[in-house]
Amino acid sequence: MTSVSAKSGRSLSDLFVEAAKQALDDAGVDKVDSIYVGNMMSGFLQNQEHLGPLMATALGREGVPTYKVEGACASGGVAVNAGVKALLSGLEEIVLVGAVEKMSGYSTAEVTTGLMMAEDRLKVASTGVTFVGLNAMIAREYMHKYGVTHESIAQFPVLCHQNAMDNSKAQFRKKIAIQDVLQSPLVADPLRLLDCSGIGDGAAAVVLAPKDAAKKFTDSPVEVAASAVASDLLSLYRRQDITTFEASKRASDQAYKLAHVKPNDINVLEVHDAFSILGVMALEDLGFAEKGSGTRLLDEGECERDGRLPTNSFGGLKARGHPVGASGLYQIAELALQLKNEAGKCQVPRAEIGLAQSVGGIGGTVAVHILRGMS
């Protein structure tokens, strides 16, 4: 993965190639049978599509089948899922999956419009509501329904900033306190600046291969024990309950079944905390806490690196950064490092089974991956 930065000054292909080459070098493979590129906003922000051959050309690997896969903010996770299916099809042996997003260098209005492409343009975006505005409605409803304070929820970004201190590739390496969150500028009531992930550029990549082939390349492969994607009604206004993401439940239920594990078996977790409230909801929707009680895990320190359920150990979307279409792949790359015991200062003890949850839009798409160490 590349560093996440709002001042990268780099092109989509520069970013992608850095991550892809790292992944190929780390995997020790030279052959690539296909390339999947996860990305959300290149058409709108860069006026650039056809990212498949753009990246294959930049990597010197033109010829192979290439695909751009888009699932809004979950594009990275969805691209990995598509790559896993390609492997399972038996048609390909070595699949490179990368994801990239470049968000810097544009006006706030442009990025705001870009993010709202994840919602229904005609029925929702046209009203003028913003992406953070929709998430603020979720936060408000959640706090009201379950009697949870902003102070409790603010523990999530505090945790992420703490973890990012040890991640040299993180965008925000600055320790913050709960009071910093509560006193930061209001963005969309009740969400404040430090409840929200920032704007950044970045790319991440992984190499997928069948288990037997993977063992030829590396002594410490990581098993993709489950890869699941689910959708939901696209728009928030159509949902019965906006304090839960049905797609998170669907995708994680399927993933637990595929991997033959239970939430209790997970000992390293990456969740999609684009906004603080989403991190808390994820803990519940993925089965780690009862509805309305996700913050208790934070109260009890369970999500810290030495806790029972180390969460967002590299800083999560909030502090490692959230180059939207790429974040789902950062999560998976970070889990892989944890399970290979190569996470450096971010390493958590006993990392055996990891779960990554990537959310597209306001929960219209959720990708869940369960990875298992094999070394």
Contact residues: a second copy, CB under 8 A: 11, 35, 40-44, 46-54, 56-57, 62-72, 78, 81-82, 84-86, 88-91, 113, 116-122, 125, 228-235, 238, 246-247, 250, 360-361, 364-365
Instruction: Between 227 and 338, name the residue whose CB sits nearer to a second copy.
Output: 227
CA distances from 53 to 58, 78, 97, 170, 236 (A): 8, 19, 13, 29, 35
Q: Is 196 known to be catalytic?
A: no
Let me know: does 178 contact 151? Beta carbons within 8 Å. yes
Closest CB 285 distance from a second copy, rounded Å: 15
Which amino acid appears at position 187 of this protein?
A: V
Task: Say how far residue 107 (Cα) sits from the centre of its chain.
Answer: 24
Instruction: Between 51 and 139, name the residue whose CB sits nearer to a second copy.
Output: 51
CA distances from 52 to 97, 98, 112, 159 (A): 11, 10, 26, 36
Closest CB 114 distance from a second copy, rounded Å: 8
Instruction: Between 47 and 185, name the residue whose CB sits nearer to a second copy.
Output: 47
Q: Is 322 known to be catalytic?
A: yes
Q: Calculate the CA dihedral of residues 53, 54, 58, 60 and round it to 10 degrees.
A: 10
Closest CB 365 distance from a second copy, rounded Å: 6
Instruction: Between 84 and 286, name the residue whose CB sits nearer to a second copy.
Output: 84
Catalytic residue among 150, 272, 322, 369: 322
Catalytic residue among 73, 160, 196, 346: 73
Closest CB 219 distance from a second copy, rounded Å: 28
Provide CB contacts within 8 A for 89, sequence distance 6+.
none
Helix (H) or strand (E) holding 205: strand 202-208
Instruction: Between 19 and 255, name the residue whose CB sits nearer to a second copy.
Output: 255
Instruction: Between 75 and 167, name the residue whose CB sits nearer to a second copy.
Output: 75
Largest distance between two CA atoms of the chain = 56
Which amino acid appears at position 330 of this protein?
A: Y
Closest CB 129 distance from a second copy, rounded Å: 14
Closest CB 199 distance from a second copy, rounded Å: 17
CA distances from 62 to 54, 58, 85 (A): 9, 8, 21
**Token pair for residue 174?**
């600055």
Which amino acid appears at position 41 of this protein?
A: M
Q: Return d(Cα 312, Cα 165) in angstroms, integer.
A: 12
Which amino acid appears at position 328 of this protein?
A: G
**Token pair for residue 54?**
């753009």
Q: Which residues are catalytic?
A: 73, 322
